[in-house]
A and B are shown apart, each in its own frame.
Chain A
């Protein structure tokens, strides 16, 4: 496939390192803790997927890498180390200008609202180039056309002069990606890049991103709730719940050997694993209220297999393999042996375990 193998990725340098990040928001006089001490390392050239549902904090988490946090939010604790600098300490726009685009670029969810309806798409892509790659005029335009071609826009000369409303949803998303790539970034963050698109277009866009990753040597972070997307693109997966990363591992490990009860629940509830006529495995209840302080494991109230200690003390990370760790007391040697739900075992039977290569 041309893509790096897991070994290569783990051994490549760490370009972004987040340590114990705590993010809080002031909301109508109350304080909400959106991220409760999350840590993550990003290796050069990898595709990392951050999986979570609404309220998990996955978008907020990555917005801090670019200083896009809302005005009522702040980084309370923790560090974000990038090229020797701690991005968490950045306060002014001047500091962030150096990072945005040139180092870290973002592709947003809704292509309808990410583009300026009053400018031609050619201009929008070219602006990016002129700002971040120090090219002007004809040279910039040449590169623009090349990038438009790379993202799969046919007849780039003609489409250069067109406006966003003349493009379909999938094509617009390609333009958005072109703008991001034109910045020549190190890291590309894609926040639900295909959620608003049809299934057939989705597959194309994901393939496009993979191609671009190779050509432009990008490191990509995918934020999504769609496990199908994750299976398609991810080298490593971070599962987020209630502002914390509860499981981190390679794609194979997380899909075929998940350890955290939330990951079990997430995988089990997929309709692809359902048996017709029988109810799907579902998690009851709703995510916790982040205005209140969470004691112990945030997932405990919804976990039928919760231990008493889950309600008292927050579990630390337990290492499952060199690349795989999870925050659950079930991995503690003193905990009783708990088998993952039937669905997960069925998945293993159907598609093979983590150790099959």
Chain B
């Protein structure tokens, strides 16, 4: 036993009056504040530690912002107008990037700079729309599927049937039946996209459904709808946001694919899919490669950014990483 701390001597210069009883305040013991942990604050903190994700978040924010303000900047060209060289009277076809056309022009004389930003705007819009729809429909169906036991068998069957049809086939059929337009494409992608979200949500709900706090809510008479919205969904926020983040590059990818097989948006609506498709046909000519280069860069940046941000956010939202 270490005896360093043991005092045997009386000689101590401590004021004897300190050996009287102190006032006892019971509430002082209760107020020792327990923890000031805040879920969202910790999530943000962990997220910010990842410099790559943070940088990409800024990049994406800049890109989105720019696509919105670009048309209102001075000296911007129209994305659909065909520009004619006043001297020659000919279209400005396949002009390489120069001072006038910052990204060059395409084969019919349209300004690629304007087309790219307009296309990015359209594609992002499609992506967000699909992501939003997926979220709403996917969560609703997933929640009912996971929580209401009676619906489990029914929805599982529907899911199995739907899931077995390759999504590309569905996409192609739908776009073929309805005329290609922005709404068609959004609709087609939504038809297949909700499946994965619903499955995710359902699996998570099954895990937390029988936890004690949900049993408590049932004992208190809380209806299923409120248990889902107030008890279960808040726990799924991080997963939901991850899936939404990944939905956007997925939508863009689908759109590019559709353009590739000729089912994409009509050419008068610029989109990243169209632009890639146009550029692809000129890939072999080293002088014209710029037409593929710019849209490819934009797509890559957008896809990678959303992917990284979504994953890092999901990790940050995991309470086990909140140390």
Interface residues in chain A, defined as those with a beta carbon under 8 Å from any beta carbon in chain B: 17, 19-20, 26-29, 39, 41, 72, 248, 284-289, 300-313, 316-319, 325, 329, 332-336
Residue B1 is within 8 A (CB to CB) of chain A in the complex:
yes
Q: For residue B284, give the distance in angstroms from its CB to the closest CB of chain A.
A: 54
Q: Is the CB of B18 within 8 A of A285?
A: no
Q: Is the CB of A309 within 8 A of B19?
A: yes
Residue B165 is within 8 A (CB to CB) of chain A in the complex:
no
Given contacts A29-B45, A286-B30, 13 further A-B contacts (CB under 8 A): A26-B323, A28-B42, A284-B26, A285-B29, A285-B30, A287-B32, A300-B22, A306-B21, A307-B22, A308-B18, A318-B6, A333-B10, A336-B20
Q: Is the CB of A289 within 8 A of B6?
A: no
Q: Is the CB of B19 within 8 A of A308?
A: yes
Q: Which residues of B contact A28 (CB under 8 A)?
A: 37, 42, 45, 322-323
Q: Is the CB of A336 within 8 A of B19?
A: yes
Q: For residue A116, give the distance in angstroms from its CB to the closest CB of chain B.
A: 21
Looking across the interface, which residue of chain B has its beta carbon closest to that of A330? B19
Contact of A284 among B5, B10, B29 (CB under 8 A): B29
CA distance A306 to B26 in the complex (A): 12
Q: Which residues of B contact A301 (CB under 8 A)?
A: 25, 28-29, 32
Q: Which of B1-48 contact A (CB under 8 A)?
A: 1-2, 5-8, 10, 14, 16-22, 24-26, 28-30, 32-34, 37, 42, 45
CA distance A36 to B42 in the complex (A): 27
CA distance A148 to B254 in the complex (A): 60
Q: For residue B91, give the distance in angstroms from its CB to the closest CB of chain A.
A: 61
CA distance A28 to B2 in the complex (A): 35
- The binding surface of chain B is classed by DSSP as loop
Q: Is the CB of A319 within 8 A of B8?
A: yes
Q: Is the CB of B21 within 8 A of A334?
A: no
Q: For residue B48, give the distance in angstroms from its CB to the closest CB of chain A.
A: 12
Q: Is the CB of A39 within 8 A of B29?
A: no
Looking across the interface, which residue of chain A has its beta carbon closest to that of B25? A301
Looking across the interface, which residue of chain B has its beta carbon closest to that of A313? B14
Q: Which residues of A contact B29 (CB under 8 A)?
A: 284-286, 301-302
Q: Is the CB of B5 within 8 A of A306?
A: no
Contact of A309 among B14, B24, B37 (CB under 8 A): B14
Q: Which residues of B contact A26 (CB under 8 A)?
A: 323
Q: For residue A243, give the distance in angstroms from its CB to the closest CB of chain B.
A: 14
Looking across the interface, which residue of chain B has its beta carbon closest to that of A25? B323
Assess A72 versus B323: contact at CB under 8 Å? Given A28-B37, A285-B32: yes
CA distance A26 to B323 in the complex (A): 8
Contact of B19 among A72, A285, A332 (CB under 8 A): A332
- Residue of B14, B20, B29 ringed by the most chain A CB atoms within 10 A: B29
CA distance A232 to B15 in the complex (A): 43
Interface flags for B236-265 (1: CB within 8 Å of A; 0: not) read 000000000000000000000000000000
Q: Which residues of A contact B7 (CB under 8 A)?
A: 316, 318
CA distance A27 to B322 in the complex (A): 9
Looking across the interface, which residue of chain B has its beta carbon closest to that of A338? B21
* In the A-B complex, the 4 residue pairs with the closest CB atoms: A285-B29, A309-B18, A302-B29, A308-B22
CA distance A312 to B323 in the complex (A): 32
Q: Which residues of A contact B17 (CB under 8 A)?
A: 308
CA distance A46 to B17 in the complex (A): 42
Q: Which residues of B contact A302 (CB under 8 A)?
A: 29
**A–B pairs, 8, beta carbons within 8 Å:** A20-B2, A28-B42, A28-B323, A41-B2, A285-B29, A286-B34, A306-B22, A306-B24
Contact of B32 among A41, A288, A332 (CB under 8 A): A288
Looking across the interface, which residue of chain A has its beta carbon closest to that of B29? A285
Q: Is the CB of A312 within 8 A of B26?
A: no
Assess A41 versus B5: contact at CB under 8 Å? Given A307-B20, A308-B18: no
Q: Is the CB of B21 within 8 A of A307?
A: yes
Q: Is the CB of A307 within 8 A of B24?
A: no
Q: Is the CB of A307 within 8 A of B26?
A: no
Q: For residue B198, give the distance in angstroms from its CB to the closest CB of chain A.
A: 31
Q: Which residues of B contact A304 (CB under 8 A)?
A: 24
Q: Which residues of A contact B21 (CB under 8 A)?
A: 305-308, 336
Q: Is the CB of A307 within 8 A of B28?
A: no
Q: For residue B195, give the distance in angstroms from its CB to the closest CB of chain A.
A: 32
Q: For residue A134, give the distance in angstroms from its CB to the closest CB of chain B.
A: 36
CA distance A312 to B17 in the complex (A): 12
Q: Is the CB of A311 within 8 A of B8?
A: no
CA distance A184 to B45 in the complex (A): 45
Q: Which residues of B contact A317 (CB under 8 A)?
A: 5-6
Contact of A39 among B2, B20, B30 (CB under 8 A): B2
Looking across the interface, which residue of chain B has its beta carbon closest to that of A283? B29
Q: Is the CB of A310 within 8 A of B22?
A: yes
Q: For residue A338, give the distance in angstroms from its CB to the closest CB of chain B.
A: 9
Q: Is the CB of B19 within 8 A of A289?
A: no
Contact of A334 among B1, B6, B16, B30 (CB under 8 A): B16
Q: Which residues of A contact B30 (CB under 8 A)?
A: 284-286
Q: Which residues of B contact A316 (CB under 8 A)?
A: 5-7
Q: Is the CB of B18 within 8 A of A289?
A: no
Q: For residue B46, give the distance in angstroms from its CB to the closest CB of chain A.
A: 9
Q: For residue B45, give the distance in angstroms from its CB to the closest CB of chain A.
A: 7
Q: Which residues of A contact B24 (CB under 8 A)?
A: 303-304, 306
Q: Which residues of A contact B45 (CB under 8 A)?
A: 28-29
Q: Is the CB of A334 within 8 A of B34?
A: no
Q: Which residues of A contact B42 (CB under 8 A)?
A: 28
CA distance A328 to B88 in the complex (A): 100
Looking across the interface, which residue of chain B has its beta carbon closest to that of A289? B32
Q: For residue B39, give the distance in angstroms from its CB to the closest CB of chain A.
A: 11
Q: Which residues of B contact A306 (CB under 8 A)?
A: 21-22, 24
Q: Is the CB of A286 within 8 A of B323?
A: no
Q: Which residues of B contact A287 (CB under 8 A)?
A: 32
Q: Which residues of B contact A332 (CB under 8 A)?
A: 19
Q: Is the CB of B19 within 8 A of A334?
A: yes
Q: Is the CB of A19 within 8 A of B6?
A: no
CA distance A310 to B2 in the complex (A): 23
Q: Which residues of A contact B18 (CB under 8 A)?
A: 307-309, 312
Assess A19 versus B22: contact at CB under 8 Å? Given A28-B42, A28-B323: no
